Amino acid sequence: MKTHAVKFSLTVAALAVGLGATPALADKTKFEFWYGLSGDLGERVEDACKKFNDSQADYEIVCTSQNGYPETVQNSIAAYRAKKHPAIAQIFDGGTLDLMLSGAFVPAKKLMEDNGYKIDWTNYFGGIANYYATSKGELYSFPFNSSTAMFYYNVDAFTKAGIEGAPQTWEDVEAAARKLKAAGYSCPLGFSFDTWATVEQFSAIHNQPIATKSNGYDGLDAELVINKTKLVDHLTFFKKMTDEGLFVVKTKQLGMDVVPAFTSETCQMIQSSIADHGTIGKTIKPGTRWDVTMLPVWKGTERQNSLVGGASLWVLNNRPQAEYKGAAAFLNFIAQPDMVQWWSTVTGYIPVTKTGFEAMKANGFYDKPEYKGRDKAIASLTFTPTSANTRGIRLGGFPQIRKEISDAMEGIFFGKMTVQAGLDQAVERGNAILRRFEKTYAGRALN
């Protein structure tokens, strides 16, 4: 999606099509949009689709949840092979390379130009666009639900425990955890085995590589290196704090994930997406004081920009031309200023363009108590210009690699292996995935 300042101009041909038939006689062009979000966020996607359908009479978008990001990638690829694919698919960050090399899409710029829309592509925040762009900076897909990892903390619990201010360093987090434990809180910090915040975001803001070849941007022959970076010490710290009962594992499998652990006030600190800001505000006990800040860094670190998370919208090829007109109209619709603000309001996701963010600041959006702190996600994403370690992660089979790292974390925190042994195992298995991917796409160069 390309938010506002997305000036569009319909071509003469498009105008002719629009004026050529009366609403009573013209049939709406239906096209499908498959998305991975579920629950509250999935319902907001459905709301966006309804708003588009209600706004005009030419197109009808049919939006269907695939109940998960990995499932959306798998189902879209399978449907494409069977020639039963949707016009638009929401693909999460980890599936970007798979789509890029598939060739099964219409590049974003071509789609909009072919359908008469003029887009200022430089208007996207670099930290967002670079994750989905070629080495030349050309966007293949449309950034849509963009987020980054943040640090949430319960202000009421902090006050009771005598803690002042938001933690800025992991040393601050340790001190806060000890005070919270002493004040009677059984779960000072809750965390899960999701690699996004603890591994990927940590590595970026500490300027640590995930893999060689600029995290995979410079070639399919990249190799994982997380067993040789500051991540080893960071997970060793997490294990020590867990063993002392200051950090507590919270997962769905154990009965409660990190966000419900925070909103129920079971745990007083968590790392999670800025996209959860809206859910937390709606589900935590009314009147509870809580806040959000950028992820902590280790003392002495020169903080770097964090990574964008979420997903982008890919338009798949081999659909009827009429569907592409509808897809372009939908992508333009959700990029308009009023829709951008609505989306950020009801979800917590951040605007993806500079003008979108500035417009929301100007109208006082971030000054409202219920949205306080959401602008810190933009500050985190734009803290520094992107670099080889902070542009993003472009590795083949990355969803499977994430699972290997997550499984290793589970083994580490449940005492089945040491931190070093766990990361060595994840690297060995992850590199095997990379080599299979490289073999599958032998001879293919990254753009």
154 and 291 in one domain? yes
Which tokens belong to 7? 């000036």
Partners of 315 in the β-ladder:
88, 106
Please say whether the beta carbons of 48 and 88 come within 8 A: no
135 and 165 in one domain? no
Q: What is the pLDDT of residue 152?
A: 98
Q: Does residue 382 lie within any of the structural domains?
A: no
Q: Does residue 57 lie within any of the structural domains?
A: yes
The tens place of each residue's pLDDT in the chain, 447 residues long, gives: 433 333 333 333 333 334 344 444 458 999 999 999 998 889 999 999 999 999 999 999 999 999 999 899 999 999 999 999 999 999 998 888 888 888 899 999 899 999 999 888 888 888 888 888 877 778 899 988 899 999 999 999 999 999 999 999 999 999 999 999 999 999 999 999 999 999 999 999 999 999 999 999 999 999 999 999 999 999 999 999 999 999 999 998 888 999 999 999 999 999 999 989 988 999 999 999 999 999 999 999 999 999 999 899 999 999 999 999 999 999 999 988 788 888 988 888 888 888 888 888 888 999 998 898 999 999 999 999 999 999 999 999 999 999 999 999 999 999 999 999 999 999 999 999 999 999 998 877 776
Q: Does residue 300 lie within any of the structural domains?
A: yes
Q: What DSSP state is assigned to residue 135?
A: T
Q: What is the pLDDT of residue 110?
A: 93
Q: Does residue 377 lie within any of the structural domains?
A: no
426 and 295 in one domain? yes
Q: What is the pLDDT of residue 26?
A: 59
97 and 193 in one domain? no
Which ranges of 133-251 does DSSP label H, i.e. alpha helix?
A: 155-161, 170-182, 195, 202-205, 212-215, 231-243
> Amino acid identity, residue 330?
F
127 and 49 in one domain? yes
210 and 275 in one domain? yes
Q: Does residue 50 lie within any of the structural domains?
A: yes
Q: Does residue 299 lie within any of the structural domains?
A: yes
In degrees, rounded to 5, the angle at the alpha carbon of residue 2 between the alpha carbons of residues 391 and 40 is: 90
Which tokens belong to 305? 């920009």
Q: What DSSP state is assigned to residue 8?
A: B
Partners of 152 in the β-ladder:
270, 292
Taking the C-alpha atoms of residue 8 and residue 337, their distance in angstroms, rounded to an integer, is: 13
Taking the C-alpha atoms of residue 225 and residue 222, their distance in angstroms, rounded to an integer, is: 9
Q: What is the pLDDT of residue 126?
A: 81
Please say whether the beta carbons of 292 and 379 come within 8 A: no
Q: What is the pLDDT of residue 20?
A: 41
CATH number at residue 28: 3.40.190.10
Please say whether the beta carbons of 313 and 334 come within 8 A: no
Residue 209, C-beta contacts closer than 8 angstroms, at least 6 positions apart: 203, 215, 225, 229, 388, 389
Q: Does residue 399 lie within any of the structural domains?
A: yes
190 and 93 in one domain? no
283 and 142 in one domain? no
316 and 283 in one domain? no
124 and 44 in one domain? yes
- Domain count of the chain? 2
Residue 82: helix, strand or coil by DSSP? coil
Domain that holds residue 402: 149-306+394-440
Taking the C-alpha atoms of residue 2 and residue 16, their distance in angstroms, rounded to an integer, is: 25
Main-chain phi, psi angles of 190, to 5 degrees: -105, 145
Which tokens belong to 120? 């200022």
Alpha-carbon separation of residue 334 from 26, 142, 319, 352, 356 (angstroms): 24, 11, 21, 12, 12
221 and 106 in one domain? no
Rounded to a whole number of angstroms, the CA Rg of the chain reads 22
Taking the C-alpha atoms of residue 78 and residue 119, their distance in angstroms, rounded to an integer, is: 31
Residue 17, C-beta contacts closer than 8 angstroms, at least 6 positions apart: 325
Taking the C-alpha atoms of residue 323 and residue 334, their distance in angstroms, rounded to an integer, is: 17
302 and 319 in one domain? no
Taking the C-alpha atoms of residue 374 and residue 293, their distance in angstroms, rounded to an integer, is: 9
Residue 208: helix, strand or coil by DSSP? coil
Q: Does residue 187 lie within any of the structural domains?
A: yes
